[in-house]
Structure 1
Amino acid sequence: MDKIELLAPSGSSEAMVAAVQNGADAVYLGGTRFSARAYASNFDDEELEKAVDYCHGYGVKVYITINTLIKDSEMDEALSYADFLYRIGVDALIVQDLGLVSNLRSALPEFELHASTQLSVHNGEGALWFIEKGIKRIVLARELSLEEIRHISIDLGVETEIFIHGALCISYSGQCLMSSILGGRSGNRGRCAQPCRLPYDLMDSDGKKVASAYLMSPKDITAIDMIKDIKSTGTSSLKIEGRMKKPEYVAETVRAFREELDGKSDPKHREQLLQVFNREGFSDGWFKGKHGKDMMAFHNPKNAGLEIGTVLPDGTIKLSKPLSKGDGVRVGDEGQTVSRMYSGRETIESASKGDTIKLDSTRRLPSGTLYKTLDKGLMEELSKSYENRYGRKLPISARLVFAPGREAEITAEFDGRVFKASSRIVEKAMKAPLSLDRITEAMKKTEGPYFISDLTPDVFEDGFLPVSELNAMRRDLLEQLLAYRISSAKRIVPERKVSDSNVKVSAPVLPSKLVVAATLEQIKAAVEAGALDIAAYPWYRGKQYVDLKSLETLAIENPDVRFYLRASSILKGEFDMVLASIRRLVEGGHIRGVLTSNMGLIRALKGICPVIGDYKLNLFNSSSLAIFGEDISGGTVSEELNRSELKELKGKERLMCILYGKQELMHSEYCPVGAAVGGMTSEKACNQACMRENYSLKDRMGEEFRVMTDWFCRSFIMNSKPKNILDTANDLKWMGFSSFRMDLTTESHDESFELVSAFQGERAFSTSDFNRGHYKRGVE
């Protein structure tokens, strides 16, 4: 394969320069609009163009993130922004919104698109679906193993990009609604409040606290020790996370991975990566398969620092690693910057491994393990690596013509083109002619990204020119090269084509009232209440939940009811088994169709049965369905739209609204029950505690979020309260919606009967404790 790309984060201009100067092949950054890191410094339009030009001068590619969901009111602005990015030469866009993808394929068909990790692409069928829709590269979900990456990259021939270092979302990216629903700050809009980094209690069925920690806060991942294995996957690009991080962090991570990729392996890389940032160390994420509590930072969600010694009860410190004045240290939650350091009574500037020292007695640290949270010397070293934005030089070979009576001339071949610069007529040397060495020395000077590394004379005779002429000739040649490299990336924006995003399809219409149920008792209650369309998820763990066999039996016993199978948004190794089960139920006439957000299933089920898109498809605007064509009958609108945004949607005949239900806040490969109670680690299997009891996460406000698990050993964190907008049915009908849905998860038979009855009768029903979702407030 071609050289593997090292892709670096650039949340600021300084971070971008740090990435380029330390050897990144590409950078990704966001503008002030539509970026999933809305709180990074980001770049305005003028800064963006300068950044693109600077990177292209070095041959470094630039990818811009437009990886948030786009509202109808923003779509024109997003497309105009894409026009600007296309014109200034951005190499590719990293995108999440399906409506934007559809519009970009029509408006800017030559613009390379990369599917953001926010799209949760995690199986081969899903990857192929996006490639067929015009996506060039897939930024794979971070939850994939080396074998799964290898299958998609090599076996299927898909261009992929994977994260190899940095923070890890505990939920599948793009599948998390926790920050949005609880606090109004949407991760899908770049404003995640990171509720996963807060402490939680794990409660059992009796209300007893069985664990208390930062149960949802994972360590950062690193692949610094497995570069050979990573290369063998066939992935095209290695991505470092960190657009919110300091330039020094970018410098160190890029430097370490650049050297590892270039075969300069060094144990110091891991230690220095730990020093610039870690949360209780690193994990290797999902690269080697399942993990449990050993991938979590249960005790500290922030930068933990590097262990360097012990503070003894008398205040003395025994060092296991060096310490210097200006370094930051901590014991537990107590921290300080080292202002004075003593060896005995002597003030010292630094201390070595094995030394016993004391710090300033006015700020005494408690006894315990000492961590260095900031290494002043390392940070200064890293800062120097990018203080000169043209410190790194790219070598250019040139040829020289130098003889009296003709213009001096230097030429260089670059990108298949020949560039030439010349001077005035070379004079005869009256005294001391210019030597070839002196001319070569003048040619090697430079102020930009290039330097003439070797100069080959085609014609050389003794003669004389002022050195200023040589310098001017050199500058002219190198400026031509730089101008060409920058200008060749610029493009002309094609004339906008008008497209109809409201694609007409011949697939069956959506059910007018769909009840989604989890347990057998809920389905029985729904049937008793007169529901005619029922969807069930047959893979939850627990005796009370419906399974495939009981779903088939229910379909036989209730021939007047149209049953649907709800399939998971995430399917990896079990994909073929689930697909086979669906085929069998369809062929037996037991289900009418499938409700899912899984792109792989959507692709595989085309022509087999109707598919309804689930709400984790994040259908956020009127263009969202266009990309599907006839792949789906329609879909459930995003749970993050408010009333006015719902009203403005076009094509409502293919859109379904949820009127009641506890939203799935997180969908994760990690299970807090398995980690905290089940004893699961990377080496030890879970004891399946979730099969014996129900568990909930309790936050600092006393809210409890049910943890549900499935047979694929994934967890679902459910909202503590149901969304209840049953009283809005007539209002939504007036807007033009004709398909509605309610989701039952933890409700009893009797509760379900009352709720479904109200749903069927299109009347309000007040539960004891509920919320209105985003119907009134929406997200920014």
Structure 2
Amino acid sequence: MAELGLGAPRPVAGYSLPATGYFHRSLPTVTVPRVELLAPARDLAAGLAAIDAGADAVYIGATRFGARASAGNSLDDIAALVQHAHPFWARVYVTINTLLRDDELEPARQLAWQLHDIGVDGLIIQDVGLLECELPPLPLIASTQMHNHTLERVAFLEQVGFQRVILARELSLEQIRHIRKHTRIELEFFVHGALCVCYSGQCAMSYAIGGRSGNRGECAQPCRRRYSLLDADGNILVRDRYLLSLRDLNLTPLLDDLLDAGITAFKIEGRLKDSAYVTNVVSHYRRELDRRLAARGWRKSSTGESKIGFEPDVAKTFNRGYTTYFARGRSESPGAVDTPKMVGELVGRVVAVDRTSFELDGDCAVRPGDGLCFFDDSNELCGTPVNAVHGRRVVPNRMDGIRVGRMIYRNHDHEFLTRLAKSRGWRRIAVCLRLEETPEGFRLVVTDEDGNRATASEAAGRVSAERPEMAMENVRRQLTRTGGTPFVVTDVRVQWNEPRFLPLAVLNRLR
């Protein structure tokens, strides 16, 4: 089977490559470890946003057989995502990770070949019955739905041909280190996003209650509903709480520990999340991982630098509060039993109220357009938008339930989300240009950040420039125009015997 190691993107059958030829760049052979940041893609828009924000890879569902049945995508959209990702050496993995009926094995096999033909980089699967099928030469990734929680299971998957396993979220750092010590297979681990109250891939609750199986991509999320807790005698100990709802995972503080433990693919959960969420979370982890990789002399697995127009903050987009779950052991409670919704950040306590407004203690950071929430006397989460703010006094759209002493939270930061929505992240590969004089005319040498080099020559008369400074400025201005390519020129060097006049047509042809 194919290796997951990066190489030149495979040809995309049925889809034309850009005439610029930049798909034919080669990634240099390096000995330093390469680490992957893997992002979810609900749809093409989210996938493009993830790549532009700096993801090294994305995972996405196809038309059928994905563990998120409502997040399927056409082959044309997946092909478009591949076309966008591959110039940056970013990969696209596709999920075929439901349990399959016998009559679905052949359609799943055909889908795998169709995905191969449009250039995807790997398949995430759960049903090992697919191993009995004639699959295309694509890397196989063992889905977390396979409950990869022991050394024995991971070693078995390595022996039968998987190139990577997605480890169970329930593992501790010590358990991950143990698995890494005794296997060579690539290890992927979730570092951010929603958590299931049941063991990874082992939940039958949705199917038992309503006939919708999570292993068929149809989980109804019964763990986000209210329950009451009774003792053996039927006495109600806790009434109508979200007893099975967990907080969301955030392993930002443990990224170094996970690198030390042998994780090489850091995965963000969220194939039902929108593009704004993906952009914010990917940007956050790109920054955090890059700092740690630079300190070690390691590299990310893709290329190109992303620019964003906002400061990422994972507290500002949807979350149920954060936990490190079991990575540090089971000393903390991961529950979010008050609500499965986003509560957000505490902004203050109500110290005074009147008919139309209330006053908060401390410095008030609330702004018009924000969304505020609070727990009422029945411990129900209530909310209201903000109409106006005057110092510490807030004028909400509704005053119902707001009392002195009430703790107020912000779960919609209007200013941040507006900046996020307006942000047009872009990603470019740095190139250096060197213009040289030759006996026949001129030569342009281009070297990208991965060490790839291209040369173009042009026969032209060598005419001395009457205005040397203007001639040099024209050269720099014309050569740095990269148009719609994924490149940005970071340096232009000119080597000639004396300043020359070069017609714009010559410079454009060289470029």
**Residue 380 of structure 2 corresponds to residue 380 of structure 1:** no
**1:23 deviation in Å?**
1.7
Contact conserved, 1:328 with 1:375, CA < 8 A, in 2? yes
Return the alpha-carbon distance in structure 1 between the equivalents of residues 216 and 201 of structure 2.
Answer: 10
1:690-739 CA-to-partner distances (Å, cap 9, x unmatched) read xxxxxxxxxxxxxxxxxxxxxxxxxxxxxxxxxxxxxxxxxxxxxxxxxx
Return the alpha-carbon distance in structure 2 between the equivalents of residues 473 and 208 of structure 1.
Answer: 83
Query: Which secondary structure does the structure 2 equivalent of 1:18 belong to?
Result: helix
**1:215 deviation in Å?**
1.1
- Provide closer, same or farther for how the CA distance between residues 185 and 418 of structure 1 changes in structure 2, counting only shifts above 3 A: same
**Residue 220 of structure 2 corresponds to residue 220 of structure 1:** no
2:384 alignment partner AA: Q
Contact conserved, 1:400 with 1:460, CA < 8 A, in 2? no
- Provide closer, same or farther for how the CA distance between residues 469 and 16 of structure 1 changes in structure 2, counting only shifts above 3 A: farther
**1:358 deviation in Å?**
2.4
Return the alpha-carbon distance in structure 1 between the equivalents of residues 428 and 461 of structure 2.
Answer: 29
- Provide closer, same or farther for how the CA distance between residues 46 and 457 of structure 1 changes in structure 2, counting only shifts above 3 A: same
**1:195 deviation in Å?**
0.5
- Provide closer, same or farther for how the CA distance between residues 250 and 284 of structure 1 changes in structure 2, counting only shifts above 3 A: same
**Residue 270 of structure 2 corresponds to residue 238 of structure 1:** no
1:197-221 CA-to-partner distances (Å, cap 9, x unmatched) read 1111122221111223211111001
Contact conserved, 2:186 with 2:264, CA < 8 A, in 1? yes
2:420 alignment partner AA: L
**Residue 209 of structure 2 corresponds to residue 209 of structure 1:** no
1:396 — aligned with what? 431
> Of the candidates 190, 194, 209, which is equivalent to residue 182 of structure 1?
209
After alignment, is 301-310 or 128-137 more displaced?
301-310
**Residue 371 of structure 2 corresponds to residue 328 of structure 1:** yes
1:470 alignment partner AA: L
Contact conserved, 2:243 with 2:335, CA < 8 A, in 1? yes
Return the alpha-carbon distance in structure 1 between the equivalents of residues 161 and 63 of structure 2.
Answer: 26
Query: Which secondary structure does the structure 2 equivalent of 1:185 belong to?
Result: coil
How many residues matched? 450
Return the alpha-carbon distance in structure 2 between the equivalents of residues 246 and 202 of structure 1.
Answer: 35
- Provide closer, same or farther for how the CA distance between residues 374 and 456 of structure 1 changes in structure 2, counting only shifts above 3 A: same
Query: Which secondary structure does the structure 2 equivalent of 1:263 belong to?
Result: helix
Return the alpha-carbon distance in structure 2 between the equivalents of residues 284 and 317 of structure 1.
Answer: 35
1:340-389 CA-to-partner distances (Å, cap 9, x unmatched) read 2142xxxxxxxxxxx4112146655522211111112212222344x25x
> Of the candidates 23, 34, 38, which is equivalent to residue 65 of structure 2?
34
**Residue 192 of structure 2 corresponds to residue 165 of structure 1:** yes
Return the alpha-carbon distance in structure 2 between the equivalents of residues 37 and 361 of structure 1.
Answer: 36
Contact conserved, 2:243 with 2:337, CA < 8 A, in 1? yes
Contact conserved, 1:407 with 1:423, CA < 8 A, in 2? yes
**Residue 134 of structure 2 corresponds to residue 97 of structure 1:** no
Query: Which secondary structure does the structure 2 equivalent of 1:299 belong to?
Result: coil
> Of the candidates 460, 463, 466, which is equivalent to residue 425 of structure 1?
460
**1:9 deviation in Å?**
1.1
**Residue 58 of structure 2 corresponds to residue 16 of structure 1:** no
2:285 alignment partner AA: F
1:149-175 CA-to-partner distances (Å, cap 9, x unmatched) read 111123433320000111011111221
1:439 alignment partner AA: V
1:371 — aligned with what? 409
- Provide closer, same or farther for how the CA distance between residues 460 and 5 of structure 1 changes in structure 2, counting only shifts above 3 A: farther
1:586 — aligned with what? none
Return the alpha-carbon distance in structure 2 between the equivalents of residues 392 and 122 of structure 1.
Answer: 36
- Provide closer, same or farther for how the CA distance between residues 469 and 382 of structure 1 changes in structure 2, counting only shifts above 3 A: farther
Return the alpha-carbon distance in structure 1 between the equivalents of residues 421 and 457 of structure 2.
Answer: 39
**Residue 340 of structure 2 corresponds to residue 317 of structure 1:** no
> Could you tell me the percent identity over the aligned residues?
36
Query: Which secondary structure does the structure 1 equivalent of 2:435 belong to?
Result: strand
- Provide closer, same or farther for how the CA distance between residues 205 and 75 of structure 1 changes in structure 2, counting only shifts above 3 A: same
> Of the candidates 311, 323, 326, which is equivalent to residue 283 of structure 1?
323
2:33 — aligned with what? 2
- Provide closer, same or farther for how the CA distance between residues 15 and 107 of structure 1 changes in structure 2, counting only shifts above 3 A: closer
Contact conserved, 1:399 with 1:457, CA < 8 A, in 2? yes
Contact conserved, 1:395 with 1:451, CA < 8 A, in 2? yes
Contact conserved, 1:403 with 1:460, CA < 8 A, in 2? no
Contact conserved, 2:440 with 2:459, CA < 8 A, in 1? no
**1:264 deviation in Å?**
7.6
> Of the candidates 305, 329, 346, which is equivalent to residue 307 of structure 1?
346
Return the alpha-carbon distance in structure 2 between the equivalents of residues 191 and 397 of structure 1.
Answer: 50
2:487 — aligned with what? 450
1:393 alignment partner AA: R
Contact conserved, 1:305 with 1:374, CA < 8 A, in 2? yes
1:63-102 CA-to-partner distances (Å, cap 9, x unmatched) read 1111112222222221121112212221111111111233
- Provide closer, same or farther for how the CA distance between residues 304 and 164 of structure 1 changes in structure 2, counting only shifts above 3 A: same
2:151 — aligned with what? 124
- Provide closer, same or farther for how the CA distance between residues 73 and 309 of structure 1 changes in structure 2, counting only shifts above 3 A: same
**1:328 deviation in Å?**
1.4
1:334 alignment partner AA: C
Return the alpha-carbon distance in structure 1 between the equivalents of residues 145 and 232 of structure 2.
Answer: 34
Contact conserved, 1:402 with 1:426, CA < 8 A, in 2? no
2:227 — aligned with what? 200
> Of the candidates 113, 118, 124, which is equivalent to residue 88 of structure 1?
118
**1:231 deviation in Å?**
1.6
Contact conserved, 1:410 with 1:473, CA < 8 A, in 2? no
Long gaps (5+) in structure 2? 1-31, 294-309, 376-380
**1:50 deviation in Å?**
0.8
Return the alpha-carbon distance in structure 2 between the equivalents of residues 329 and 22 of structure 1.
Answer: 29
**1:318 deviation in Å?**
0.7
Query: Which secondary structure does the structure 2 equivalent of 1:324 belong to?
Result: coil
After alignment, is 229-238 or 392-401 more displaced?
392-401
**Pairing 1:649-660 to 2, within 5 Å after superposition:** none
2:16 — aligned with what? none
Contact conserved, 1:313 with 1:366, CA < 8 A, in 2? no
1:610-631 CA-to-partner distances (Å, cap 9, x unmatched) read xxxxxxxxxxxxxxxxxxxxxx
2:476 — aligned with what? 440
1:603 — aligned with what? none
2:313 — aligned with what? 272
Return the alpha-carbon distance in structure 2 between the equivalents of residues 185 and 159 of structure 1.
Answer: 32
Return the alpha-carbon distance in structure 2 between the equivalents of residues 173 and 264 of structure 1.
Answer: 28
1:383 alignment partner AA: A
Return the alpha-carbon distance in structure 1 between the equivalents of residues 55 and 443 of structure 2.
Answer: 37
**1:313 deviation in Å?**
5.5
Contact conserved, 1:335 with 1:365, CA < 8 A, in 2? no
Contact conserved, 1:86 with 1:111, CA < 8 A, in 2? yes
- TM-score normalised per structure 1: 0.54
1:417-447 CA-to-partner distances (Å, cap 9, x unmatched) read 6433345635524644564454233322223
**1:139 deviation in Å?**
0.2
Could you say what the CA RMSD is over the residues aligned between the two structures, in angstroms?
A: 2.7
Return the alpha-carbon distance in structure 2 between the equivalents of residues 380 and 424 of structure 1.
Answer: 52
Query: Which secondary structure does the structure 2 equivalent of 1:162 belong to?
Result: strand
Long gaps (5+) in structure 1? 344-354, 475-780
- Provide closer, same or farther for how the CA distance between residues 216 and 456 of structure 1 changes in structure 2, counting only shifts above 3 A: same
2:250 alignment partner AA: T
**1:462 deviation in Å?**
3.3
Return the alpha-carbon distance in structure 1 between the equivalents of residues 459 and 371 of structure 2.
Answer: 59
2:324 alignment partner AA: D
Contact conserved, 2:430 with 2:449, CA < 8 A, in 1? no
- Provide closer, same or farther for how the CA distance between residues 49 and 25 of structure 1 changes in structure 2, counting only shifts above 3 A: same
After alignment, is 427-436 or 151-160 more displaced?
427-436
1:296 alignment partner AA: G
Query: Which secondary structure does the structure 2 equivalent of 1:100 belong to?
Result: helix
Return the alpha-carbon distance in structure 2 between the equivalents of residues 172 and 187 of structure 1.
Answer: 12
**1:21 deviation in Å?**
2.2
> Of the candidates 497, 502, 505, which is equivalent to residue 465 of structure 1?
502
2:335 alignment partner AA: M
After alignment, is 226-235 or 357-366 more displaced?
357-366
After alignment, is 151-160 or 460-469 more displaced?
460-469
